[in-house]
Amino acid sequence: MISSPGLLLRQAVLNSKPLQIVGTINAYSAILAEKTGYKAIYLSGGGVAAASFGLPDLGITTLNDVVEDIRRITRVTKLPILVDADTGFGNSAFNIARTIQEFELAGAAGCHIEDQVSAKRCGHRPGKQIVSLEEMVDRIKAAVAARKDPNFVIMARTDALANEGIDSAIKRSKAYIEAGADMLFPEALTELSQYELFSKNLPNIPILANITEFGKTPLFKTEELHKAGVSIVLYPLSGFRAASAATLNVYKTILNEGTQESVVSTMQPRMELYQYLDYFKYENELDKLFGTQNNKDEK
């Protein structure tokens, strides 16, 4: 069925070479991504923790925290959204099953589950620990068994490169795919040749490259990633980082200069905000309901 978010994501992967996905930390950024022309979006666990709760990406936020942000985003966009499920929000098959079911109900197109221990760390930080291959295979099997929509994407993420090397990471990835994972997310790769090895050893499996700023992976271009066998290029927090830097600059300017005048040119104009939000459509509805005069003058 074409309305399935999972099917939309799968089609976007097939139709793009590669598919670029940007992280959207809230509903408004999802609107911006859709109207810019992206075909899919992403919700980062680190983004939920930082933007919604002011917490670091250390597995502190809960399943319900993430689900609420999924709902807010899927309410305003038709784009399929891939969601960071961390380690599955629990050690048991029942916990993982609930995660998949809640994500589906909230409108997500798919999620990735990683092979770190429950007390996880950012994939580009030192000190990561991973579970056994067998435990991660069980996570994938539980996730696959739990989905109602067979098109809901189960993506396996492996952080094994940092701890065990690329041969082990590929061995693990093969086992995760055999367990039922649809796509693969090898985290924190450092060379294009590593993507080529994953692609060679896992033919016909969509591979995601996480091109996050200030991490271990260089900012490879989409063309060279595609040549290396990558199907999906993810920019998980690029917009959030840019917005945070701009916000900080405005706050400092107002405090130091006593006015925002010198940074107004860096702000999104009111009318542009209105355009992205379809503001006047809502005003027109009020006019129809209550017979009020729609005043479109900027205030």
Single out the catalytic residue among 26, 104, 176, 210. 210
Give the torsion sign (CA, 23, 28, 30, 33): negative
Among 114, 115, 159, 182, the one annotated catalytic: 114
Dist. CA 224–CA 201, nearest whole Å:
19
Task: Assess whether 223 carries a catalytic annotation.
Answer: no
Active-site option among 34, 111, 112, 172: 112
Q: Is 65 among the catalytic positions?
A: no
* Residue given tokens 């978010």 in the structure block: 5
Cα Rg of the chain (Å, integer): 21
Determine phi and psi for 57, rounding to 5 degrees.
-85, 75
Catalytic residue among 10, 34, 57, 147: 57
Cα angle for residues 40, 45, 51 (degrees, 5° grid) = 95
Residue 157 annotated among the catalytic residues of the structure: yes
User: Could you say which of 42, 176, 195, 235 is catalytic?
Assistant: 42
Tokens (6 digits) for 90: 């629990």
Residue of 26, 151, 187, 195 marked catalytic: 187
Asked about 122 being catalytic, the answer comes back as yes
C-alpha–C-alpha distance, residues 108 and 82, integer Å: 6
CA-based torsion, 55, 34, 216, 248: positive or negative: negative
**Is 86 annotated in the active site?**
yes
Catalytic residue among 122, 151, 159, 172: 122
On whether the CB atoms of residues 87 and 55 are closer than 8 A, the answer is: no
Q: Which of 86, 102, 104, 159 is catalytic?
A: 86
Strand ranges in the chain using DSSP code E only, listed in sequence order: 19-23, 41-43, 81-84, 110-114, 153-158, 183-186, 208-210, 232-235
End-to-end CA distance of the chain: 45
Give me the helix-helix angle, 133-146 and 93-106, nearest 10°.
40
Q: Under DSSP, is residue 55 helix (H, G, I), strand (E, B) or coil?
A: coil
Query: Is 42 marked active-site?
Result: yes
Place of tokens 């919700």: 43
CB of 60 closer than 8 Å to CB of 49:
yes
28 has catalytic annotation: no
Active-site residue, from 84, 104, 115, 182: 84
In the set 115, 157, 159, 195, the catalytic residue is 157
227: nearest Cα among 207, 211, 247: 207
- Residues designated catalytic: 42, 57, 84, 86, 112, 114, 122, 157, 187, 210
